[in-house]
Amino acid sequence: MNKAKSILLTAVLALLPLSTVLAGGWVAPANKPNGVPEDLDKTILSATNWILGLISLIAVLAIIWGGVQYLTSAGNEDTMRTAKKTITYAIIGLVIAGIAYSIVNVLITTVITDGGAAAGDAVNTNTVSGGM
């Protein structure tokens, strides 16, 4: 039964970005001057927000489940230990999801939106014109 749940969860997480494309979130956009499609950053952020939102929801539900297990353990050491592990791993999952969200936002703003210019670099928006 656990194998079926893990396969289903993996399939849902793998196909989640496809739902953004199918919903019309990214349809042949025009290119920016740096060659990146116009809506690519928005599409990546949208897909990332959905995935991390789902992961956060699962982690919060796991914390609640661990709390319920702990409260209903009735002094059983094995159940209490399992509940503590569930809560600990769920909190670790929330922290990793927060770090992943931060990394994706930094990458989107520095690489895709700014065209890969490092912080403090001046982005040259002048175009070369002939005749001078």
SS3 121: coil
pTM above 0.75, yes or no: no
The model's pLDDT over 87-111, given as tens digits with 9 standing for 90+, comes to 999 999 899 988 988 888 888 778 7
User: Any idea where the domains of the chain sit in the sequence?
Assistant: 55-116
Whole-number Å distance between alpha carbons of 109 and 119: 11
- DSSP-derived letter for residue 129 is -
pLDDT band of 116, cuts 50, 70, 90: low
Say yes or no to pLDDT of 37 above 70: no
Whole-number Å distance between alpha carbons of 114 and 16: 27
The model's pLDDT over 51-73, given as tens digits with 9 standing for 90+, comes to 888 888 999 999 999 999 999 99
Tokens of 29: 């956009």
